[in-house]
Structure 1
Amino acid sequence: MNASPHTIDPVERKAADWVMRHRQGQLSARELEAFQRWLAADPLHAAAVERANRAWQATAQLKQRPGYVKPQRPPRSAWLRMPVVGGSAVAALALGCWMLLAPPFWVQALNSDYHTGFGEVRQITLADGSQVQLGSHSLLSLAYDDQTRRVRLSQGEAIFTPAPMNETERRPFTVQAPGADITARGTRYLVGVGKDREGWVGVLQHRVEVNLTQHGRDEAAGSALLEQGNSLHFSPRTGLVPLNTSPEELASWQEGRLVFQRESLADAAARINRYRPGLVLVKGEALRNARVSAVMRLDNLDDALKHLVAQVHGRMIDLPGLTLIY
């Protein structure tokens, strides 16, 4: 039996459903991850999403034209209203559980001593005279006691200039990041926090001591004394790995720019995500590993992102809260 000429391809139907729900803000965090997995599963999926997104934009433009009349929705019957109460209760319970298990940034910000929004850089002077330059979308908490001057960087990145130890100040200065403790040795240094207890350290002056914090037997252990001009990546999976990116390049955000020197597009996207609302997602192993070089202004990341995509001859789809490069 031949298919009807009006039959919609299942991939096109699925893409249209994803785009509609995403643009209407109906995707939960778990559903957004499922959307990203679906996009990565087949190049046809990304192409279908691009077509669905263009159709959505065309519809939005049509609605703005004079003379457009919004169709009236039929009134709901009373029996249709009844389950909404139960549904709302379930939704509220789910939201409460999600906020406890994976609290959003603004909830974490309420429990931190200092925080910054996207694109914001904040200069902080601590009680002992130590200086902190807190980068974009970052969270910092203080945990000073009689033995240690400890600060916790739970998200984002910061440049630390600790007040030096002397006869009156004998406590070491330590930055606690998820996955590592970084202790100053008379120094100025940068610490950044990524996902899954990964991060990076760069030494701008003198040296620091980096110690991995283990949460399980299978996690890597290690420590390193990092000298001025060097940087490293820390991870419970790979341990301590030297970085080719210089500390000055890692800290370029303090001057209102991001510098990329032959970095993978995946790493560049991860850095951009810290300074731009929404998520930049790179699909495909070859594209993720493609090397890019650029100097990007933090106040013009949207245009700069297009130049990165052009470098690797890729394509880009913009959705609310998500930019897909494929």
Structure 2
Amino acid sequence: MSGNRQSIDDGILQAAAAFVARLQSGDATEMDRQALERWLAENPDHQAAYDELRVLWSDLGDVPIPAGRLGELRAQRRRRVAGFVGLCLAAGVAILSLSTPYGDRFRADYYTGVGEVRRIALEDGTQVDLNTDTALVVRYDEGRRTVRILRGEAFFAVAKNPLRPFVVEDGALSAKALGTRYAVRTAGGGGAADVQVEEGRVEVEAAGQKTVLGAGEAATIDRQGRISLSRADVAAGTAWRDGKLVFSRRPLREVLSTLERYRRGRILLIDPAAGALEVSGIFDLKDTDDALTALEASLPLRVTRLSGLMVVVQSR
């Protein structure tokens, strides 16, 4: 696409409309402006879309209008297909939505894009590794350090401070560090939330239940809040911190679901029988196409790339 306005993805235009509407509102914050700068730096198309919609708003005499109306006006002016109007009208909703990447990024203090892994240091010395498509809100006060995961997964190497407990929350669970290193993943894409402990202990609470995990233990929390305990290979489960995805006898459907998290678009498995095939291997999370090629070479699979955003996997 490389910034060509006519070919910019509708999802990018929708996000740009949301940013323009937010930034021209009277209650825009410095956090909003920083989120915009990060988003613009991700892709040249982001800048092109934002510039076009900002100019459109300026042409209208700086009259405050919602993001959805911006998108509608652009569609009228360009005489794009009617379906695009509907997408852009949704932009005003997307900015407030808790279930969309752009809505979560507006609210986040820190976030990563799809396929990005990033390490940050919090004010108390705690180090946090953010996995792909993750968004965090950090709130520290005198008596408590709280991190809320809006989406995704993060690994925490917690700086010890008995007077200020460190708690990670996602709305359905809380995981309080008892001086430790651990990972928390929110529910998403049909998967359950989980907590994995590499070192120390973590108190996990969900739906009124509490349990304490030790090193090498994991808790999985289903959508009803029920906690299931198990042993875990935490090093393999959090190898994404080093740019690797490690699988040991995992079903193909799970492997493909994981790979999809690190790329834009969809991986569509159309053969349920193939989904049960076992996969063991180490893959580079920055090259999911290479991982798909390796799976096709080692398993009775056919991988068909329909476009840059759609891959179909079936038995050979």
Give the structure with higher Rg (CA). Answer: 1
Give the whole-Å Cα distance in 2 for the aligned partners of 1:242 and 1:270: 22
Listed as ranges, the gaps of 5+ residues in structure 2 are: 1-6, 12-75
Please say if 1:323 is aligned against 2:316: no
Cα displacement (A) at 1:24: 9.9
Cα shift readout 1:209-238 (whole Å, capped 9, x = no counterpart): 1112x4xxxxxx633211101223221247
Give the whole-Å Cα distance in 2 for the aligned partners of 1:98 and 1:125: 29
**Other-structure match for 2:183:** 190
**Other-structure match for 1:121:** 117
Cα displacement (A) at 1:295: 0.5
- Which of residues 230, 237, 240 in structure 2 aligns to 1:250? 237
Give the whole-Å Cα distance in 1 for the aligned partners of 2:86 and 2:102: 23
Give the whole-Å Cα distance in 2 for the aligned partners of 1:302 and 1:190: 27
Shift in alpha-carbon separation, 1:160–1:324, aligned structure 2, 3 A: same
Cα displacement (A) at 1:187: 0.7
What SS class does the counterpart of residue 140 from structure 2 fall into?
Answer: coil
Contact 1:125 1:131 in 2 (8 A): yes
Listed as ranges, the gaps of 5+ residues in structure 1 are: 1-22, 28-80, 215-220
Please say if 1:145 is aligned against 2:141: yes
Shift in alpha-carbon separation, 1:147–1:289, aligned structure 2, 3 A: farther
Equivalent residues in 2 for 1:79-90, closer than 5 Å: 87=82
Give the whole-Å Cα distance in 2 for the aligned partners of 1:300 and 1:92: 32
Give the whole-Å Cα distance in 1 for the aligned partners of 2:299 and 2:226: 30
Contact 1:189 1:205 in 2 (8 A): yes
What SS class does the counterpart of residue 247 from structure 2 fall into?
Answer: strand
The alignment's TM-score, normalised by the length of structure 2, stands at 0.66
Consecutive aligned runs of 4 or more in structure 1 exceeding 3 Å deviation: 23-27, 84-92, 97-104, 242-245, 309-312
What SS class does the counterpart of residue 236 from structure 1 fall into?
Answer: coil
Cα shift readout 1:28-54 (whole Å, capped 9, x = no counterpart): xxxxxxxxxxxxxxxxxxxxxxxxxxx
Cα shift readout 1:243-295 (whole Å, capped 9, x = no counterpart): 56511111111122110001111221222222222222323433223221110
Shift in alpha-carbon separation, 1:257–1:186, aligned structure 2, 3 A: same
Aligned length: 242
Give the whole-Å Cα distance in 1 for the aligned partners of 2:281 and 2:180: 29
Give the whole-Å Cα distance in 2 for the aligned partners of 1:243 and 1:229: 9
Contact 1:116 1:137 in 2 (8 A): yes
Equivalent residues in 2 for 1:148-163, closer than 5 Å: 148-163=144-159
- Which of residues 214, 217, 221 in structure 2 aligns to 1:230? 217
Please say if 1:204 is aligned against 2:198: yes
Cα displacement (A) at 1:117: 2.2
**Other-structure match for 1:60:** none
Shift in alpha-carbon separation, 1:116–1:95, aligned structure 2, 3 A: closer
CA RMSD after TM alignment? 3.2
Query: How high is the sequence identity, in percent, across the aligned residues?
Result: 30
The alignment's TM-score, normalised by the length of structure 1, stands at 0.64
Give the whole-Å Cα distance in 2 for the aligned partners of 1:279 and 1:185: 39
**Other-structure match for 1:37:** none
